[in-house]
Amino acid sequence: MKKYFVVSLVKNGILGGGIVADAEAITYHTGKLTVPEEYRNLVMKYEEIREVKKGWLFILPTVLVKMKNGNEYKFVVFFSRRRFIHCLKECGLHS
């Protein structure tokens, strides 16, 4: 079952979009043409995620996803960061 979250990727600014979580991965999507191609459809498989950390960007709740290859992606999560993290664990994140 897919779950959807309203998020913004924090990369050279705050880039609006959304995350779809399914049984295999979380995928960040955005339709903005000014966003580099590598971030428009960013797939992060659970087995490639090393760690997930909560944080803040001023007053906005964030989740930092650290990958095993060294890449890090920070997302501002609107409407229930706790539900997003719970979903990651429920869907298969083993960190």
Domain ranges across the chain: 3-91
pLDDT digits (tens, 9 = 90+) for 15-53: 888 999 988 899 999 888 888 888 889 999 999 999 999
Contact 49, 66 (CB under 8 A): yes
Flag whether pLDDT at 80 surpasses 90. no
Per-residue tokens: 25:
């991965």
21 CB-contact burial (10 Å; exposed 0-12 / middle 13-18 / buried 19+): buried
pTM of the model: 0.87
CATH number listed for the domain at residues 3-91: 2.30.29.30
